[in-house]
Amino acid sequence: MPPTPSPTNRMSTLDTEFFFAEHANTPLHMGSVAVFDGPAPEHRELTRLFAAKLSRVPRYRQVVSTVPGQILPPVWADDEHFQIRHHVRHVTVPAPGGDEQLRAVAAKIFARRLDLKRPLWEEWLLTGLADGRWAILSKIHHCMADGIGGNDLMTLVFDADPDAAPPEPVSWVPAPAPSLADRAADQLRDTLTWPLRQLAAAPATPGKLKRLVRPEDLLDYGRGLSEGTRRLAEPSASFLNGPIGSKRRWAWTTTSLTELKQIRLAHGGTINDVVLAVITGAFRDLLAARDKLTDHLVVRSLVPVSTRGPDEAGVITNRVSAVLANLPVGEPDPVRRLTGIRQQMDSLKQRHQAVSAEILTAMLGVSAPVWLALGTQAAYRFPQPLVQTVTTNVPGPRVPLYVLGRRMTVLYPFVPIGNSVRISIAILSYLDTVSFGVTADYDAVPDVDVLVQGIKRGLAELAP
């Protein structure tokens, strides 16, 4: 019996935006490098493991299916030509296999675009590390999941039990993609019923932003505009913005979650406030080294905010909004920097600024796909001086993880850059270790190590 055609599995509006935003010098995948104690497995052994676990993540065998002219929304469809060998690869890190060699190899792999005609993920086995260690480099396109979703995927693919036996492979037959007629009918039905579905969802999910836009939402947004306008008027380090090439620099540093909690207890605020203050100090060092530091200067950062509900763990999509935060690099006192950031973030939360992006996304949900595609591509290709960096803080696994019985010892995050933003910083925790991963344009930021050392100094400045 032939397989049943798959139902229309339309991409969400936000996922679609991330998919269309990618272009030659802006690959929009997230990633990480997980380092393990040895001995390293064989490439074929790791390939078999991932192949056996694919049934846990059906999206890993699906591609984005579009139509010419983008007259219909893209959908997820089973890849009829799926081959695991295209997604699980192997490279040996050059001797002596230290951190410098590891980050250079990883930066080259992260700079390469995923093949948009295949399932949008890759896993790389990195061998040759010093002290008998090895690593797995993971890449997943942002249109598949946000940072928290990516961590959920990790816990599905990796093991919490060091003695876990590899699962038995599950047979799989790709389902035929939905027909153009089915997709057109689905789009028409969705357009006609969208207002009613938003209204029906409002009472049931008041905390998830899955509701019709209410007048008070727009009023809250309007009240925040005056404060937002004032913050946007502050002089920002727009000279950090500029064209982006195809090569990347990637570096990291680590601290302990315990140290961040001690700083929070000593000075107040949240862990995220502390992290932003530390990064502010790092940018201050970078600008001082470039002789660009002035009083009252700010570095404006886009800060993603998760909108996932407590019952949405493991949901393979994006549930994210964002706020704009001014990092006060012109302030010389580290405690005052933290205090200013805490007050700013508290104000943003009170004004529900994060809701604004969700409101716009909901409105765009009924827009013609062609306009969504063109608008997203234009937004990511035209220079913009508003945002100088992206700072994303994601809580990672709190239990030890294993692959083929080998324990993961540390996890370094990668976040993409794009649209004139030459530097992005991801913060990711694993057990008690918190890693800062810094992604930068290769030619524009040759001094990325100044920023990394600045993170270390920023932590020391705030230590109680």
Give the residue numbers annotated as catalytic, written as ranges. 142
Reference 117, options 87, 88, 153, 91; nearest CA is 87
Virtual torsion, Cα 243, 244, 250, 256, nearest 10 deg = 50
Q: Are 52 and 172 in contact (CB under 8 A)?
A: no
3-state SS assignment for residue 152: helix
Q: Which residue, chain included where needed, has tokens 């380092």?
A: 35
Phi, psi dihedral angles at 374 (to 5 degrees): -65, -40
Reference 52, options 60, 41, 63; nearest CA is 60
Radius of gyration of the chain (CA): 22
Cα separation, 300 vs 341, in Å, equals: 12
Q: Which amino acid is at 29?
A: H
Cα separation, 90 vs 29, in Å, equals: 19
Q: Which amino acid is at 200?
A: A
* Exposure b/e, 421-446, CB count within 10 A at least 16 = b: bbbbbbbbbbbebbbbbbbbbbebbe
Cα separation, 44 vs 85, in Å, equals: 9
Tokens of 374: 């063109």
Q: Are 309 and 201 in contact (CB under 8 A)?
A: no
Q: Are 418 and 241 in contact (CB under 8 A)?
A: no
Reference 64, options 17, 4, 111, 10; nearest CA is 10
Phi, psi dihedral angles at 415 (to 5 degrees): -130, 140
C-alpha dist (Å) from residue 314 to 21, 131, 311, 335: 24, 34, 9, 37
Cα separation, 75 vs 8, in Å, equals: 7
Cα separation, 324 vs 316, in Å, equals: 25
Cα separation, 65 vs 62, in Å, equals: 9
Residue 25 CB-density burial (10 A; 0-12 exposed, 13-18 middle, 19+ buried): middle
Cα separation, 231 vs 268, in Å, equals: 23
